[in-house]
Amino acid sequence: MSKPFEFGGLHHLALVCKDMQRTVDFYTNILGMNLNKGFDLDGGYGQHFFFDMGDGQELAFFWFNDAGSAKPGVASAANLAASGKGTITSAHGSMNHLAFSVSKDKIDGYREELVSRGVDCSEVVNHDDVITGDEKRTSDMPTEKTWLRSFYFFDPDGIMLEFCATLSKGVQVADLPVNEKGIKANGQLITGTV
């Protein structure tokens, strides 16, 4: 069957900030992204700014004059991934985290650079591509099974960001999806927390 739509990757992702000055400072001065565009919304409702995240893709932010406050665990991740501080849960329909592609040869240096810029980063995680139940999904050192290497940090609004490098293509395999009760079509139940 032919595919109905041809997707060309991400055009932009639009997030919401509390303080556009703080957001512009973080994304331009700390992460070094170019600010491509920024404008006031009609009627004084807010602002809409666009940062260049490479490859023709933009990260957009809104500032709304009537926006609600941050809700970690609901609208954003409860805790930083790989920090050992707790789960990364967020609510149905939320944006949990945003991963930027970076070079596998540069990711360790990038983490050091961010730490030197005062950003609290998780350790670099080696994500291994394994069959569920056979082995752990992460390892201390990269191995031939390592699919991705990445680390995590928060932006000033508690939006979880990830720098992610692809090491290998990985295996195209998917476990059965669960329903709203956490049960698979074969009756298997997913329980517990990470």
Is residue 10 within the footprint of Fe ion (CB under 5 A)? no
Is residue 183 within the footprint of Fe ion (CB under 5 A)? no
- Smallest distance, Fe ion to C-beta of residue 168, A: 16
For Fe ion, the closer of residues 47 and 146 by Cβ is: 146
Q: Residue 167's closest CA among 102, 82, 111?
A: 102
For Fe ion, the closer of residues 46 and 158 by Cβ is: 158
Q: Which stretch binds Fe ion (CB under 5 A): 21-29, 130-138, 154-162, 172-180?
A: 154-162
Q: What is 98-152 written as a DSSP string? A: EEEE--TTTHHHHHHHHHHTT---PPPEEEE---TTTS-SEESS--TTEEEEEEE
- What are the Cα distances from residue 165, in Å, to 6, 8, 82, 107, 168? 25, 20, 16, 7, 9
Q: Please report, as a single letter, which amino acid is at residue 57.
A: Q
For Fe ion, the closer of residues 47 and 122 by Cβ is: 122
Is residue 190 within the footprint of Fe ion (CB under 5 A)? no
Q: Which of 41, 99, 115, 178 binds Fe ion (CB under 5 A)?
A: 99
Residue 189 · residue 182 · CB < 8 Å:
yes
- Smallest distance, Fe ion to C-beta of residue 127, A: 8
- Smallest distance, Fe ion to C-beta of residue 166, A: 12
Cα gap 41→43, rounded to integer Å: 6
Contacts with Fe ion, residue ranges (CB under 5 A): 99, 162
